[in-house]
Amino acid sequence: MSPQLLAAPSVSTLQAPAHVVMVRPHHFSVNPDTAADNAFQHGLPLNATQAARRAYAESTQLADALAAEGIGVSLVEDESGLSPDSVFPNNWFTTHPDGRVVLCPMFVPNRRHERRSDVVDLLRLRFEISDVVDLSEAENHGEFLEGTGSVVIDHRNKLAYGCRSHRLTPGLFQRFCDEIGLQPVLFDAVDSSGTPIYHTNVMMSVGETVSVIGSGLIPDSSDRDRVLGLLSASSEVVVELTESQVRHFAGNVLQLTGHSGPVLVMSTTAYGALRSDQVRAMRRTSRILTVDVSTIEASGGSVRCMLAGVHLPPRRQNVSVPSGIPGGGVLIMS
């Protein structure tokens, strides 16, 4: 499928990018191999064909909604069926304002198929990539760091928030921060049953103007106060979430930059869990965009997990986009 030019380009801020990578799955299913430590997963009353069709439609709807806001979407098809979680590309790579891309080690073996060189090649068409840092070999030694699922990055203040889990090894977290030049903010986060939160980005998000956090999930009061203090210093609005709201993916949101300014993107599930005062606080500085991804949410991730924000600098020269993208990708450009 050839690229489509849908809207005039938006200009990213350092923290709220104007371009994302998405993967549209053709064989989506709830991954049984990740269920052991992902308490957000649940079953679906659908057969395999129905689930795959609905997930395909939900990812398409999200891509179209973002493009309508003037947000660029590099939408890549996954027809392989090798990984049921391919719809969550933010876990296998991160991008940075200095032009670096980091390839990340994945905890569950069947998710390692998600790393694709053609996605990096696709980004090179519009963005400057100075280096690709490959940390994926760490998974062979039992060390893991699942991208911006495990790590929530504040690019403006050079901070990296991470909660300990099977998906985030503290030593590798420190190595990642040293490599990129970030200050690590490591803490424990658990639900009311004592189960560790598997990914930091389901309990918190740091945007350009709005941050959200389920601070009550951080049991250590000094850690909790430190994290809240850092968020308050960097965000105009900090919205605290209850555990129930986190369970409904209200922490799994992402602020992007559209043609009319900041856009806070979340699922209809997340939005439905918010109180009216929380919505008003968010809308003080940002539009809210909601999309139904309830089928995909059965896999334990929501809208933010589906979006790999592109923080790379734009290319200085225009590059013609080929009619066919290797790997079945289609580039939707804002």
Strand order in the sheet with 287-291: 254-258, 261-267, 287-291
CA-nearest of 232, 241, 180 to 213 is 241
Determine the residue type at 72.
G
Write the pLDDT tens digit of every residue in 186-209: 999 999 999 999 999 999 999 999
Residue 248 near residue 294 (C-beta atoms within 8 A): no
- Helix (H) / strand (E) containing 63: helix 48-68
Q: Name the fold adopted by 4-312.
A: L-arginine/glycine Amidinotransferase; Chain A (3.75.10)
CA-nearest of 132, 138, 149 to 90 is 149
Which of 30-34, 137-141, 259-263 comes out lowest in average pLDDT?
30-34
How far apart, in whole angstroms, are the C-alpha atoms of residue 253 and residue 267? 8
Rg of the chain's alpha carbons, rounded to an integer?
18
In the chain the first and final C-alpha atoms are separated, in Å, by 17
DSSP strand pairing (159-163 vs 183-187) = parallel
* Region 156-178 average pLDDT: 97
Write the pLDDT tens digit of every residue in 114-125: 999 999 999 999
**Residue 48 C-alpha from the chain's centroid:** 25
Please tell me the pTM assigned to this model: 0.91
Banded model confidence at residue 18, pLDDT cuts 50, 70, 90:
very high
* Region 303-321 average pLDDT: 86
How far apart, in whole angstroms, are the C-alpha atoms of residue 245 and residue 231? 19
Q: What is the DSSP letter of 313?
A: P
Which of 236-240, 304-308, 330-334 comes out lowest in average pLDDT?
330-334
Domain ranges within the chain, ordered by starting residue: 4-312
pLDDT of residue 98: 97
DSSP strand pairing (72-78 vs 210-213) = unpaired
Determine the residue type at 218.
I
* Region 298-306 average pLDDT: 92
CA-nearest of 82, 128, 127 to 109 is 82
Write the pLDDT tens digit of every residue in 208-245: 999 999 999 999 999 999 999 999 999 999 999 999 99
With a pLDDT cut of 70, the percent of the chain lying above it is 87
